[in-house]
Structure formats: structure tokens, C-alpha cells
């Protein structure tokens, strides 16, 4: 950065601050946004972005389940009441689908408006989903699930929290249980608007699998797809993984 070590030392001791013009460079090096560098509580502001999307009566993410749900049903069919957790469930399209198909579903999201809509959707469908409000960054599990499902939300988790969150989720998964997860990954040749959005931390290609070295990876996949959200055509790259927890003697 062409900054003298004396200047850095002053930043470290708090006797001076970096010039405003170097903040973007610093944020880039630390893979965070400028608000985070300045100690501004980005997580709260960022989650509230969703309030606008969820205000209307229609379902922002639609009511059709994601394709991942069908894959979960193939790997862990609901032949007995399986306890499924939908992490950052949004308006509940996947949670309600699982409940309709006989899973015992718990689902959480940070945004209350999303949960209200999920609750209404479940009511219309005549099923029960245990919805609750929580922030994925600080909420940790203390009871067990057979399936943990998370679609479209793990890019809100900064790199330094991932190990801890996965350890907690893995510890609270039953033997033979399933994790079905997807993450947006960075590819230099895929330019998407969310590359620049604050509070989103894209993953490194393949990184997701590194947290599951001692699990059975049933399938993993990386795909580039077109997206039209926000009215601007762009692309994303996504890694999707289905992993089964193994016991010592398996």
C-alpha cells in the first residue's frame, strides 16, 4: 500500500487514523466493508435491507420449493418423522414444502416480516412449521436435527465465523444426518452485482467441502447461472453440497 511502518504504528496505537482514501484498499485486503473497518454494526443494517423486499403481499422468492428440496427427499425420504432445520428460511417456501411432505420442520430467519409470511403460508397449506427469529451469525444450536438445510444465505457469514458455525451445526446433527447447503463462490470471470454489495462474503470455490472432511459427501456441484434479480441481467457461481454425518465405525 506504500504506507510507512511509522504510519501503521500510529494507526495501531490509535494516535492517528488511516487517510480516508486508503479505506477502500484496506477493506479489500481484509475482505470486509468500510463500515466494518469503522466498527459500524453492518449486520443490523444489512439484514434490514430485506424488510423492503418482504413488505409486499407477494412472495419475493416465490412459493415453489428450491430444487435442493427434491434432492433432500431423495437422500433422506421422510419414512420416519425427521427433524429438519431450515436456516435463514426467508418466506418459508422450502420449510413449508418439507412440512407438507412429512418432515418435522423448524425454520429461522433474521427478518420478522419474512417469518410472518412464512407463518401465513404454512397456515394456508395446513401444516405446522416452528418458525423463530434469530441471527445466523450469533445463534447457536442446542438441540439435535436430522437434516440441516440452508439455501442462499451462507454468504452472509464472514470467513472467520464459518468454522465455529459448522462445528456447532455438525455437533447437533444426528448420526447419519444430512446437511444440504449452497454458497455463492467468487470466480474472477463471473461478474455479478453482489460482488460489490456490503455485508456479503462470497466463498472460495471448493471451500464449503473443506468443513466436511470427515463426512460422506453424497454429491457436490459447482454451477454458473443467469440471474435477473434487481432487473439487471448478471451471473452467479454457486457450490452446492449434500453431506452425511458418519459414525466412527462407518
Ligand X SMILES: C[S@@+](CC[C@H](N)C(=O)[O-])C[C@H]1O[C@@H](n2cnc3c(N)ncnc32)[C@H](O)[C@@H]1O
CB 110 within 8 A of CB 88: yes
Q: Considering the rule CB under 6 A, would residue 178 count as an interface residue with ligand X?
A: no
Q: CA 11, CA 17: separation in Å to the nearest integer?
A: 5
The string of DSSP codes covering 134-164 is --TTT----S-EEEEEE-S-GGGS-HHHHHH
Q: At its nearest, how many Å lie between ligand X and the CB of residue 200?
A: 9
Residue with the CB atom nearest ligand X in the bound state = 90
Q: Which stretch binds ligand X (CB under 6 A): 74-82, 120-128, 147-155, 232-240?
A: 147-155
The residue written with cell numbers 444489512 in the block is: 46
Instruction: By CB under 6 A, name the one of 104, 151, 192, 240 that touches ligand X.
Output: 151
Query: Where does 76-196 have alpha helices with state H?
Result: 93-100, 112-125, 159-171
93 counts as binding ligand X under rule CB under 6 A: yes
Looking at beta carbons only, is 53 or 187 nearer to ligand X? 53
- Residues 188-208 as b/e (b if ≥16 CB within 10 A, e otherwise) read eebebeeeeeebebbbeeeeb
- Stretch of residues binding ligand X (CB under 6 A), selected from 73-81, 119-127, 152-160, 203-211: 152-160
Phi and psi dihedrals of 55, rounded to 5? -70, -35
Stretch that binds ligand X, among 10-18, 33-41, 88-96, 208-216 (CB under 6 A): 88-96
Told to check if 201 binds ligand X by CB under 6 A, we report no
- 158 belongs to the binding site for ligand X (CB under 6 A): no
Is residue 195 within 8 Å of residue 202, measured between CB atoms? Answer: yes
Is residue 59 part of the contact set for ligand X (CB under 6 A)? Answer: no
Positions touching ligand X (CB under 6 A) are 47, 50, 61, 66, 88-90, 93-94, 109-111, 114, 135-137, 151-153, 156
Amino acid at each position: 500500500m506504500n504506507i510507512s511502518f511509522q504510519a501503521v504504528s500510529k494507526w495501531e496505537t490509535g494516535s492517528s487514523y488511516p487517510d480516508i482514501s486508503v479505506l477502500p484498499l484496506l477493506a479489500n485486503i481484509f475482505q470486509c466493508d468500510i463500515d466494518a473497518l469503522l466498527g459500524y454494526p453492518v449486520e443490523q443494517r444489512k439484514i434490514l435491507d430485506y424488510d423492503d423486499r418482504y413488505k409486499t403481499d407477494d412472495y419475493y422468492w416465490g412459493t415453489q420449493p428450491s430444487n435442493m428440496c427434491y434432492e433432500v427427499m431423495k437422500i433422506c425420504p421422510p419414512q420416519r418423522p425427521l427433524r429438519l432445520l431450515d436456516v435463514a428460511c426467508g418466506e418459508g417456501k422450502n420449510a413449508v414444502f418439507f412440512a407438507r411432505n412429512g418432515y418435522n420442520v423448524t425454520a429461522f430467519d433474521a427478518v420478522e416480516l419474512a417469518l410472518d409470511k412464512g407463518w401465513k403460508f404454512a397456515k394456508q397449506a395446513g401444516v405446522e412449521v416452528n418458525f423463530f427469529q434469530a441471527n445466523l451469525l450469533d445463534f447457536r444450536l442446542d438441540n439435535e436435527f436430522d437434516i440441516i438445510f440452508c439455501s442462499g444465505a451462507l454468504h452472509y457469514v464472514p470467513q472467520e465465523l464459518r468454522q465455529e458455525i459448522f462445528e456447532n451445526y455438525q455437533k447437533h446433527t444426528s448420526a447419519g444426518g444430512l446437511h444440504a447447503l449452497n454458497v455463492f463462490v467468487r470466480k474472477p470471470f463471473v461478474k455479478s452485482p453482489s460482488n460489490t454489495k456490503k455485508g456479503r462474503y462470497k466463498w472460495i470455490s471448493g471451500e464449503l467441502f473443506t468443513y466436511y472432511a470427515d463426512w460422506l459427501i453424497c454429491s457436490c456441484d459447482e454451477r454458473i447461472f443467469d440471474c435477473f434479480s434487481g432487473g439487471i441481467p448478471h451471473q452467479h457461481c454457486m457450490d452446492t453440497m449434500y453431506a452425511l454425518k458418519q459414525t466412527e465405525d462407518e
